[in-house]
Structure 1
Amino acid sequence: MYGVVLAAGRGTRMRPLTDRRPKPLLPVGDRTLLERVFDTAIDVVDEFVVVTGYRGAAIREAIGESYRDHPITYVRQEEALGTAHAVAQADPVVDEDFLVLNGDVIVDASLPRALADAAGTAVAATEVPDPRAYGVISTAEDGSLAEIVEKPADPPTTLANVGCYAFEPSVFEYIERTPTSERGEYEITTTIEHLLTDGHRIDVASYEGTWLDVGRPWEVLAANELALAEFADGVKQVGTVEEGVHLHGPVLVEGGATVRSGAYVEGPVLIREGAEVGPNAYLRGSTVVGPGAHVGHSVEVKNSVLMADASVGHLSYVGDSVLGRDVNVGAGTNVANLRHDDANVRLRVKGESVDTGRRKLGAIVGDAAKTGINTSLNAGVKLGAGETTDPGEVLTRDRLSE
């Protein structure tokens, strides 16, 4: 069985974190988002087919030609013309039953297992309290799929379409006959409608596990919180931990990392290979210090993700934030992560102000951005890739790269 992983999107809602990387390569704990998708399906597929588009070469370079002894074939979707169009790119490669998984969604291994166990074509579905924002699934008396209705005002059920499928190769013929939707895209749900019309049985694979679409910046924090929640209690020390360091709760110090004297770490915290923490730093919450990153003297980092080679050198606070690769935080930079009115922090996504659902959310900082000394970053502000702030500047509005 093949595992076709859709990883072609530009990830515009994730800006600025996707300005210089494809979304599936965002780090989640100790692996990329794409690698976590592979891991969920590794026991039920024999080979992966990855559909790339935006910065596809970066995916191929980062992942390589195999993953855990499973071969990977890369195919390219030149234009983002919908999910059915993306699946169609696998046609020259796939010659047996296959799963379709999303390269930017956190699920657990029970989902691909349920799809693989279904006979022929299947749709994964999960119960949600309010399904109006999803494709809503109705079932026939025998439990098979009867209909999928997109974002209905009056949902007929509480079963949401997870967006993962099992198909037989004959589906490619139906994709060829799939017309464009009102959005001008070729939708896989339209393809499924044609299968139903022609009398094909489609099973509904019930799924009750984790389902997190990592599509917006604060969902990177949520994904990492889930990943670090898997840590066992206690300290796992592989790297160098100097005398006078206090490690509490689930903390992993990877090989090649260094934690210097006076550092205080409250897990769950992951300190990746080559990272340096301290002296006299404070890490807490679900925090990931990425490969080669630096957290220096009198720095507090709480519930944040520091990507590879990011640096928060000294005398700074970073809370509930995501710092991209090679970010440099100047001395005395402080991040606000809480509104004075105690309301949820809002963040602009594609020009619209969106309620993140998070009471605490700090800054989202793109790759290679730099803050001048004594900068203040307001709650929910975005600093674009390669952008800078002046010494003493107070940033209350997004500053994004073109």
Structure 2
Amino acid sequence: MLPAATRPILEHVFDQLIDAGIAEIVVVGYRRDRVQSHFGPTYRNVQFTYVTQEHQFGTGDALLTVESAVDGTYLAINGDQIVGSRLIRETIDGHEHDAAATLALLQRTDIGEYGSVTVDDGEIMSIVENPSDWRDYYINAGVYVLEPTAFDAVRAAESRNGEHLLVDGLSELVDSGRRV
């Protein structure tokens, strides 16, 4: 609910999702009551389903919280960053039926402290949080098309300091030989 250009960041995120053709949105988050009181049950004629994440135990925990609210292939997006509807649509359109996940990636020369991946022929080979070497990386843009197997991968990934992270679940998929 932090403001960006006089509107909550989430409002910008929801606008981009709707502009990309998303017709149903599941909202998860700690203290989701603030979001729900601002937006209500719909926004721009798109139905919202709210689920409560009781404690903030990481992005993987947030993903697991929505498991009962989604069916089949689904889109997950970080709610604290604004990405364009074109990138969202391209990620959805680029998802292939035999892939466990599809990630939106950005090619940048300065990756800073972003989560990054190495890619070979369109396949993710490794996921590296805050890389410190000089390999060529793509930045993880925080837009994911996921198959239901992602839930099991997040559960299977080892937690870090009591947190389950989505990127660890994605690494689990890569390490097990699944297409990402």
Task: Establish whether TM, by shorter chain, passes 0.5.
Answer: yes
Letter in 1 for 2:27: V
**2:133 & 2:4 partners in 1: Cα distance?**
36
**Aligned pair count?**
175
Tell me which residue corresponds to 1:252: none
**1:197 & 1:78 partners in 2: Cα distance?**
30
Whether 1:130 and 2:107 are equivalent positions in the alignment is no
Which of 22, 43, 48 lines up with 2:25 in the alignment?
A: 48
Tell me which residue corresponds to 2:51: 75
Deviation at 1:132, TM superposition (A): 4.1
Aligned residue for 1:172, secondary structure, equals helix
Deviation at 1:93, TM superposition (A): 0.5
Equivalent residues of 1:132, 1:153 under 8 A apart: no
Choose 1 or 2 for highest CA Rg: 1
Deviation at 1:90, TM superposition (A): 0.5
Whether 1:180 and 2:156 are equivalent positions in the alignment is no
TM-score by length of 1: 0.42
TM-score by length of 2: 0.89
Query: Deviation per CA, 1:225-253, whole angstroms, max 9, x where unpaired?
Result: xxxxxxxxxxxxxxxxxxxxxxxxxxxxx
The percentage of counterpart residues that share the same residue type is 33
Deviation at 1:34, TM superposition (A): 0.7
Matches within 5 A, 1:207-356: none
**1:108 & 1:96 partners in 2: Cα distance?**
24
Whether 1:150 and 2:129 are equivalent positions in the alignment is yes
Whether 1:97 and 2:73 are equivalent positions in the alignment is yes
Deviation at 1:30, TM superposition (A): 5.4
Query: Deviation per CA, 1:90-114, whole angstroms, max 9, x where unpaired?
Result: 0010002111111121221112112
Tell me which residue corresponds to 1:212: none
Letter in 1 for 2:82: I
**2:50 & 2:56 partners in 1: Cα distance?**
16
Deviation at 1:130, TM superposition (A): 2.0
Letter in 1 for 2:178: H
Aligned residue for 2:131, secondary structure, equals coil
Query: Deviation per CA, 1:247-283, whole angstroms, max 9, x where unpaired?
Result: xxxxxxxxxxxxxxxxxxxxxxxxxxxxxxxxxxxxx
**1:132 & 1:155 partners in 2: Cα distance?**
12
* Cα separation, partners in 2 of 1:150 and 1:26, compared to 1, 3 Å: closer
Equivalent residues of 1:136, 1:155 under 8 A apart: no
Q: Which has the higher contact order (CA 8 A, sep 6+)?
A: 2
Which of 192, 208, 215 lines up with 2:170 in the alignment?
A: 192
Aligned residue for 1:105, secondary structure, equals coil
**1:96 & 1:45 partners in 2: Cα distance?**
15
Aligned residue for 1:78, secondary structure, equals coil
Equivalent residues of 1:44, 1:112 under 8 A apart: no
Over the residues paired in the alignment, what is the CA RMSD in angstroms?
1.6
Higher share of residues assigned helix: 2
